[in-house]
Amino acid sequence: MDKGIQRLEEMIRVSAFRHKVLASNIANVDTPGYKAKDVPFRDEMKNRAIEIAKTNPQHLRENRNPREAGGTVAVERSPWGDGNNVALDVELANMTENALLYEAGIKLLSKKFLMYKNAIKGR
């Protein structure tokens, strides 16, 4: 069916995962030695786009389940005195941006369904 729906689904999935990772960073803002993590949204979406574009799941097979949550990367930022490198303001900014992206994904998905609905009803 429509690849767009799948793409939007992946967009929502990736941003939901990134939200969790950012929430963990904020939770550990005062944990000594904690290193901030992030999800490279662009790379993650690119990987998933390849998964979607495949006509056969055996093509370009990697050793990971495409449905599984993607990998995280360590954030390159100089640590504070206690070895923790979470910057609260940056994390909150990223999180707000990510939440908007998530919301956009959901809005677009809803519109897509609405288009189909209209097509079915012939209006």
Partner 1 sequence: MDTFAIFRVSASALDAQRSRMNTIASNMANIHSTQTENGGPYRRKDVVFTTVPIDSETHSALEGVKVVQVIDSQEPFKKIYDPGHPDADKDGFVLLPNVNVMEEMVNMMMAVRAYEANVTTFNLSKSMFLKALEIGR
The three-point CA angle 18-100-29 to 5° equals: 45
For residues 98 and 114, give the distance between their C-alpha atoms in angstroms, rounded to a whole number: 24
Backbone angles phi, psi at 34, to 5 degrees: -75, 135
**Candidate list 46, 77, 93, 110; residue touching partner 1; CB under 8 A:** 110
- 12 near partner 1, judged by CB under 8 A: yes
Token pair for residue 10?
A: 């992946």
CA 122 to each of CA 1, 4, 108, 117: distance values in angstroms, whole numbers, following the listed order:
19, 21, 21, 8
Our CB check for partner 1 shows the closer of 22 and 41 to be 22
Of positions 52, 66, 95, 97, contacts partner 1 by CB under 8 A: 95
User: Do residues 106 and 15 touch, judged by C-beta distance below 8 A?
Assistant: no
Binding mask 33-72 for partner 1 (x = CB under 8 A): -x--x-------------------------------x--x
Q: Taking CB under 8 A as the rule, does residue 118 contact partner 1?
A: no
Interface residue with partner 1 among 2, 3, 29, 83 (CB under 8 A) is 29
Contact criterion met (CB below 8 Å) for 51 and 58: no
Task: Indicate whether 21 belongs to the interface with partner 1 (CB under 8 A).
Answer: yes
**Interacting residue ranges for partner 1, rule: CB under 8 A:** 12, 16-17, 19-24, 26-32, 34, 37, 69, 72, 88, 91-92, 95-96, 99, 102-103, 106, 109-110, 113
